[in-house]
Structure 1
Amino acid sequence: MRRSIAVRLSLSALLVTGTLVGTGASTATAGGEESAAQPLSAGLLSALQRDLGLSPDEARTRLAQEADAAGTEPAAREAAGDAYGGSWFDPARGTLVVAVTDTGRADDVRATGAEPRLVTHTDAELDATATALDRLDAPASVASWRVDPRANSVVVTLVTGAERDAATEDFLAAARAAGPVTVSATTTRAPETFAAGTVGGDPWYTGNVRCSIGFSVHGGFVTAGHCGRAGQQAYGWDRSLIGQIQGSSWPGNDYAFVSVGNGWWTVPVVLGWGTVPDVLVRGSAEAPVGASVCRSGSTTRWHCGTVLGKNETVNYSSGEVVYQLTRTSVCAEPGDSGGSYISGDQAQGVTSGGWGNCASGGQTWHQPVNEILGAYGLTLHTA
C-alpha cells in the first residue's frame, strides 16, 4: 500500500532540517550570519559546498531558507485546503512553492509566506494515480514512477536503451488511463538496492551485538554461534535486514548459519581491509599446524599469524566450554567474533575467542569451517 506523503518538500530540505534539529544548530540570517551560541555544523556546510557548488555564505543562506520552508509548509498546506497540489523548495528563489488548483486559495497561501502556483490536479488526484500504478505489473524497462508536484503529474522513468516492447506499451497505456501520467524521464540503468554481498570480515548485527561474517555459503553465511540464537534477525553493516539465524550451536560448539535475502547475496570473498587485496575463497583445505593463517574481522580488520594447535578444548572465563577448536597466534578483539580465518585462498574457520589484543598481542581460537559445513549440510561459496 502506498505510504501517505504529508509533506512534499525537496528531499534535501527535509534532510537538512532534520540535521539541524539533531545537532541543535540554529538557522542563519538571510545574510548568512549564524548564531554564535549554536554554530552550524562545519561538516554539513562543507558537504553543501562540495556537492551543491555553494560558497560558505550561500550554504548558510540555503540552510536558513530550507528551514523556513519546512516551517512554513504545514500552514501553507492548510491554507490551500482541498485545492492543495503539492509543494517544493525553489532554491533559485529561496522559498516554498505551493501548488493550488483554485485561484481563490492563492492569497491565503501567499499570506503564509509561500509562493502559490496554479495547477490542474490536486495532490490527492496524483496520489490516487500513483496508487493505481502500484497495482500494475511493471516490465524491466520501467525503472520507477513518482508523484512530481512540479510537473503536476505522475512521472514514469524508463531505462535508457531498454526495448519499448508490448509489455512496456501496455503498462504505459494502463498508467495513462489511471490519471495524469508523464513519461519524460530516463535513467541509464535500472535501480538496484544498496545492500551488498556477504563478505568475510564485514560486520553484522543482531540486537545490540556486533559480530563479523565468516564465509559465504550457498544460501547465507557462517559465523560464530555465541553471536545469536536461531530465529533472531540478522542485519548488515548498513543496518539493513540480511536474513535470519537459521541454526546456532553454543556452547560445546561455536558456530551459526545465517540465511541471506532482502537484496543481499553471497560473495566468495574475504576482506583485506586495504592491508592486502580482498581474497577470493577457492576451497576449505585445512592448513597444518605451523602454517600461516590470517584473520579478517570488523574490529581489528586484517591480522596474520600461525596455526599453533588443533582439536583443543577451550574453557572460557564466562564458564562455557567449547571443543575441537584450532588455536592460532593471530590477535583479535571484541566484535571480531565470527570473522574469517583463511590460509592462502583456503577457508579455515570462524573466530571463537581468545586472549590479549592487537596492541600487545595474544592468541585466538577458531571453529573449523568444514565442521560447520557438515553440521548444517552447507556448501562453501567459492570462486
Structure 2
Amino acid sequence: MRRTRPIRAVLTALLVTGACATAGFLPAQAAGADTPRTERAAASDGVLTAMQRDFGLTATQAKARLASEKQATATEKKARKAAGSAYAGSWYTPKNQELTVAVADRDKAAEVRATGATVRLVGRSAAQLDAAKKRIDALDAPSGVSSWNVDWKSNRVVVEVQSARQADNDVKAFLADARKAGPLTVRTTAHTPTTLAAGTVGGDPYYTGNVRCSIGFSVQGGFVTAGHCGGAGQAVNGWDNTYVGNFQGSSFPDNDYAWVNVGSGWWTVPVVLGWGTVSDQLVRGSAEAPVGASICRSGSTSHWHCGTVLAKNETVNYSQGAVHQMTKTNVCAEPGDSGGSFISGDQAQGTTSGGWGNCTSGGETWFQPINEILSRYGLTLTTA
C-alpha cells in the first residue's frame, strides 16, 4: 500500500497480512483494460472458483448463476418501480433462477409481471411491514432476543429468540409488546450474535489500539469499515504498523459503520483481495443483490468465503446494543473479519459486522449495506 514499494510486492505483502477490499492492486491487463466495460465478465476467475467450492457448482453453472443474478438485480429495480406503494419485497431462487416480487395490490400484478418477475400477491406492503418493524425497534430488547427482520416470503416480521432464554419473563414481555406492533412470527436459535473484531496479532491489516479489523471498500479519500472497530478520531495503523489515518466518522451501536481517511503515503484502489486462494476482484459498482443471491466475503482472518443473502433490514441485538438495517447471510466469518468486504459478482454490498459460528462448522454473518454508509457520510465508492 505504501507508495515507496513496488505495487506487485505490496500486493504480496497484503495477501499475507490481510487488508481487505482497498489495499490490493490488480494489473491493468488482468482488469480487462482493453475490453469494453459492457463486455467485462461479472466476476473474476477467483470468484467463480470460490463459488464452485462453496456452492458445489461447475464453472459453467457458476457463470450462469452470476449472469442470472445480475439480470435479477436489474429486473428487481424495474419491478419495484412498477409496483410502487404496493411493493412488498423480493427474493431470488437459485434453483429455478427466478426473481419473485411480492405485491400487495392485485391491480399492480400484471404491470410487475411484465418486467419479467414472478408475482406473489400478499396482504401487506413493504412499507407496512417496515413500519411494524420500526415499532419493534423502539422497544428495549433483552439479551435473550437475538434479532428481528421483515421476512418478505412470509409477509411478516420474524423475531429470533435464543432457545435457552425463551422462557425468561423479560423475553416474554418483549414478545408481547412486539406482537402489538404488527404480524409476528417467533423463531428460536441456539446462537448468540457477536461482533467480529479481534485482539492484536502480528502481520494483520489494520489496528486500532489492541483491536484488529479488516478494510471494507475504497472510497475517495479513504476506506469504509465497521463502526465497532474504532471511534471517531482514533488513529489507524496498517499491516506494517505505520500510520494510515484516523476514523473520520463512526457509529456503533444503532449502526455499525465507519470510514477512515488515508494519507501518509497510503492509497486505495477498487479491489477485494482473494488471499492467494482466488484472484482479486475488481469493484465496479454497488447495485444491491436480492435476497437469495450469491455473495462472497473477504476478511483478514478467514479470508474468502461465499454464501447466500438470507434477509435484509434485520435488527441484530448485540450485547453492546441493537444495530439496525443489516443484511443477513449464511457466509461464515471469524474474529478479525469485522469491517471486511461483502461483494456479489463485481458489485460492493457491505461491510462485515458480526455473526455466530466459524468457518469450520459454519454460521451466519451480518453486514451493513454499503450504499447506506456512502449516503451517511457523503462518500463516493472507488470503482474500476
Query: TM-score, normalised on structure 1?
Result: 0.49
Larger Rg: 1
Which protein has greater RCO, CA pairs closer than 8 Å, 6+ apart?
2
TM-score of the pair, normalised by structure 2: 0.48
